[in-house]
Structure formats: C-alpha cells, structure tokens
Structure 1
Amino acid sequence: CSPNLRRAKSTPANTFPHEVEKIVDEFVERIVTMGIEGLKHEFSTVSSYRCPDETYKYEAFLANPERNRYNDVVCLDATRVVLHHDVPPATDYIHANWVKFDKHDRAFIMTQAPLESTIGDFWRMVFQENCSSIVNLTQSVELDNMKCVLYWPQHGGSFNTYDKMFVNTKKVEHDDNFFVYTVEILPEGCSNSHIVKLIHMTNWPDKGVPPSGRHVLRLLRKVVQVSVDRRVSLWSMSC
C-alpha cells in the first residue's frame, strides 16, 4: 500500500459547538424576520440559479451512469473526489464531492448512499482520504422501499470484504437516536489499517425532517467528538 495514496493526517482542528450555536441563532432570527412570503421569494430565486458554465460540468457523472443512484443528482467535475487507490484496474469515479464552509477549516465529503456495486469504491474513498467519521442519515428500508444497501457489518466483531476492502466492525455503541460504529478498514495488500467512526442517525425520515432541531445539533456535536484529530468528515445520505 503506497503511503502517498492516503491523505495525510491533519493537525487537530478547532471544534465548533459555539460557532454552530451562533450560526443557528442567526439563521433562526433571519427566518423569523423574512416570514413566509420572504421564504417563498427566496426559494423561487434560488431554484432558478444556475452555476457558471465553466464550473457546471459533469462529464464523469455522464460516463458512469451505472454508478449513480439518481440520474438527476449530478456530480460536478470541479469538486468530485477522484479515487487513486487501486486505479487501474478499478475506476477513479465515485458520486462524491468536496464541500467547504466559509470560515471553517474542516473538510467535508458529501456522497450518495452506496449502491451494491459501489460499496468497494466507497470504502476505498474513506481509506484514501483518511476520513475520521462517516455520517449516515439514510435508513436501509423506509415504507417498504429499499433506500440504501447495508454497506458495513452491523455487529461488533463482524467483518466483510467488499471488492478488495476488508471492513471490520470492532465496536457498536447506541446513544438515543444514534448508533456509533468503530470500523477498521484494510485494503488488500496493505499492512496499515484505518479506523473510522460511522455515525448512523436513525430518526431522519426519507421525506421529512427529525422531530426536533435538537437532534441535528446533537448529531453535529457527536461528529465533533469523534473527529477532533482529523479534518475530513464524510456525509452519506439519500434524498
């Protein structure tokens, strides 16, 4: 396993509970001031916005239709995560994009819930980018509809191999509406494994929001707790 295929560990990042609370307070005050009509106007304005042509390209997305969950949720070339580990023969494409927030040095990856055929790609990305945490907001089945394949072993001490990625769930913790999995990843032919925390939020409905905003704030705090030593967090969701 070549060390240059993995993103180097970053120096400790500042946690952000107080910053989050400040942002939430400002957001709530702004929404209350805007009112319903103001929100409607903002939505109509935002929904008609289109990115400049030079940044709104998605050729890799079009070239890999079998690796995309939805054909109307594009993966932009400018910010997509490019896989390097085991390429070739494996593909360098995964439906995942880098996301940066102003005034914050923590990096995030937003990705679709893996398909059966892309689970190995998902774990290659987690290993390559040295992700500290995975946040899964998707339930496997909702209203009798399959929303997401189970892409990690569910029980402590259980393991599986996805393509050439060995994935071992070392521990499972339950905290109210969260399951926190400690997961070890080891690519075939590599002697250095990687540990990541997978946080599964179980009360975010497919076509709705959690019953209380406090649940979202608790989720953010949980991510901070498990991500203090690295800057990359990975969010997996299906909408």
Structure 2
Amino acid sequence: MVTPTLRVEIALLALLPRNHEKNRCMDVLPPDRCLPFLITIDGESSNYINASYKQPSAFIVTQHPLPNTVKDFWRLALDYHCTSIVMLNDVDPAQLCPQYWPENGVHRHGPIQVEFVSADLEEDIISRIFRIYNAARPQDGYRMVQQFQFLGWPMYRDTPVSKRSFLKLIRQVDKWQEEYDGGEGRTVVHCLNGGGRSGTFCAISIVCEMLCHQHSVDVFHAVKTLRNNKPNMVDLLVSVRTSTSTSDSGLSTSTEDFTAADGAGKELLSSLFNDKKL
C-alpha cells in the first residue's frame, strides 16, 4: 500500500485537547514518531506544533501558521537550525493564514525576535532574509533565514503555472542552503495544511538530488518514503515510479510504470520529468 492510513493511535499527541486549536485540519495530523518537539521555552506554552520531521531529513513540513501558532512557527525554525522557509500558499486572513513575518523592523513572538534584513522579487519568487534569535538567550547568537514565497501556484490550480519556475525555486533554495550553511541547515516547507503542495516540493527536491548524484531516479520510492512519515504528503499521487537519466542533450525520461496514478501529483511530477527543455 503506497498511502498508509493515519490511525488515531499514531497521532495521539496531535489529538490531545490542549493541541486541537493548533491544528488547521484534523485530517492532516503528524504522527507522534515524526513530531519535532519545540525546545525554546515560552511560558507555559506546549512543545507541540503541527509539523512532521524525521532525521536525517533536510525538510520539516508544516501548515501555514495559524494566528495563535505564529510564535511556535518561529520557535520551530530556531530550535531546528532552519536556514530556509518555503511558502507555497497565499496569505489569506479569511482562511486564518496571516502574514507571519515583518516587512521592516523587528517583530517579537514570545522570546523569538524576527528582524527584517532584505527582500527581492524575481519572476515568481519573493525572497526575504531575516535575522532570528532568542532574546532570552542572547549568548546563543542569531541565525539568518531566507524565506522563499512562491507566487506561481494559485490556489485554484492543482499544479504550478510554470514547471520551469518551480524547478528554479528548488535550485534557489539549494543554492542558499549550500552558500549560507554548507548544506547543513534544514528547510521548513509549508502550504495551507502541510500536505499535498509541501509533499510535492519535497518529492521533486529529492528526485532532483537523485538525478544529480545517481543519474537515475525512482519517484515512487521518494513519494512512498515521504508518505510513510506523513500520509497526506503529495495527496493526489497514488503510485508513480519513474526512471530518469541525463544525457548531453538534456533531460530525458523513461517512464516505466504509472499504476493507478491520477490527479495533481501525477500531472506535475510526470510533466516535470518529460520536459527535455529543462
């Protein structure tokens, strides 16, 4: 079975009454075994956040912060040494998706201070750099975090407008990670509910890394691994296995098996790896 069912008994912490208000969707919950517990102390606040992470993964997947979890979001970024944030949805107060970052100056979220440094717009990507630190522990220093807000995936579309722009987003994140922290920092990836779009980004990032280092990829395995950690990842892709090879003329793909695959996940992944112009 490619998509494991999230049983109640494996998400007990997310279902505790005190954590209900921290979950955007009660059907998109992180399993207990993949929870990144918050470390920074913030009064009597709990150490729970609706996020999924399993070592040695480079990604922490979460939902867009709710108004009452913005400070937890920044605690997560600081506690887990994150140097990148990938945003795949829109700011929308009607859906309780607030702007969680400052456009200038400093915002304080509990003990975490978030200071705006710079911003840049390039095609479908707004990149913003922030300096974050724990005001209660100044001796720990600060961390530079770059947020990549992807504008090329409107809410009404199942897939991004441009696959070229989506791959550019992945390359920009990889470049920042390598230049700033030698590839050691983690990336927080979020969409509205921390499910389909976030999973698609992670899956394609993993596949691109396989392609660079191994010259062949297995999309089926990449997606299955993600879904074992969180069942809703790449939520419309049922089963995809793709073998990809590179040549001097560009990217060529041999699709061995698409079994029972349908929806946005299949469309995006298959189209990305069948475009020889990339």
| TM-score normalised per structure 2 | 0.61
1:46-65 matched pairs, under 5 angstroms: 46=2, 49-50=4-5, 57-63=10-16, 64-65=19-20
- Contact between 1:112 and 1:238, CA under 8 Å: does it hold in 2? yes
Runs of 4+ in 1 over 4 A off after TM superposition: none
**Equivalent residue for 1:182?**
129
- 1:36-68 Cα shifts (integer Å, max 9, x gaps): xxxxxxxxx646x436x6x96001110110100
- CA shift, 1:94, in A, is 0.3
Opposite residue 85 of structure 2, the aligned amino acid is I
Match of 1:149 among 98, 104, 113: 98
Q: What's 1:111 paired with? A: 62
Q: RMSD of aligned C-alpha atoms?
A: 2.2
Q: Secondary structure at the match of 1:60?
A: coil
Instruction: Describe the SS at the equivalent of 2:102.
Output: coil
Corresponding letter in the other structure for 1:171: S
> What's the CA shift for 1:106?
5.4
Equivalent residue, structure 2, for 1:214:
164
Unaligned segments of structure 2, at least 5 residues? 194-278
Distance 2:130 2:168 in 1: 21
Distance 1:187 1:99 in 2: 24
1:170 has 2:117 as partner: yes
Once the two structures are superposed, the pairs formed by residues 4-83 of structure 1 within 5 Å of their partners are 46=2, 49-50=4-5, 57-63=10-16, 64-83=19-38
Q: Sort the Cα spacing of 1:216 and 1:115 in 2 relative to 1 into closer, same or farther, 3 A.
A: same
Kindly indicate whether the alpha-carbon contact (under 8 Å) linking 2:67 and 2:96 is maintained by their aligned counterparts in 1: no
Deviation at 1:145, TM superposition (A): 4.0
TM-aligned CA distance change 1:56 to 1:109, over 3 Å: farther
Aligned partner letter, 2:127: V
1:203 aligns to what?
Answer: 152
**Deviation (angstroms), 1:74:** 1.2
SS at match of 1:166: strand
State the 1:183 CA deviation. 0.5
- Report if aligned partners of 1:177, 1:201 keep a CA contact under 8 Å in 2: yes
Aligned AA for 1:149? Answer: P
User: How far apart are 1:237 and its partner, in Å?
Assistant: 1.1
Residue in 2 that maps onto 1:238: 192
Distance in structure 2 (CA, Å) of the matches to 1:210 and 1:99: 27
The whole-number CA distance in structure 1 between the counterparts of 2:41 and 2:167 is: 37
Alignment coverage as a number of residue pairs? 184
Q: Give, in whole Å, the separation in 2 of the partners of 1:206 and 1:170.
A: 29
Cα distance, 1:91 vs structure 2: 1.2
User: Aligned with 1:132: secondary structure?
Assistant: strand
Secondary structure in structure 2 of the residue aligned to 1:61: coil
In 2: Cα distance, 1:177 partner to 1:99 partner: 30
Post-superposition offset of 1:218? 0.6
CA displacement, residues 69-97 of structure 1 (integer Å, 9 cap, x when unaligned): 11111111011111111166321100011
Q: Which residue does 1:161 correspond to in 2?
A: 108
CA contact (8 A) 1:111 1:234 kept: yes
* Cα distance in 1 for residues equivalent to 2:148 and 2:47: 26
**Post-superposition CA distance 1:97-150 (Å, at most 9, x none):** 1157xxxx6511000100111111110110011101000111013xx9435111
Tell me, which stretches of 5 or more residues in structure 1 are unaligned?
Answer: 1-44
One-letter amino acid of the counterpart of residue 206, structure 1: M
TM-score normalised by L of structure 1: 0.70
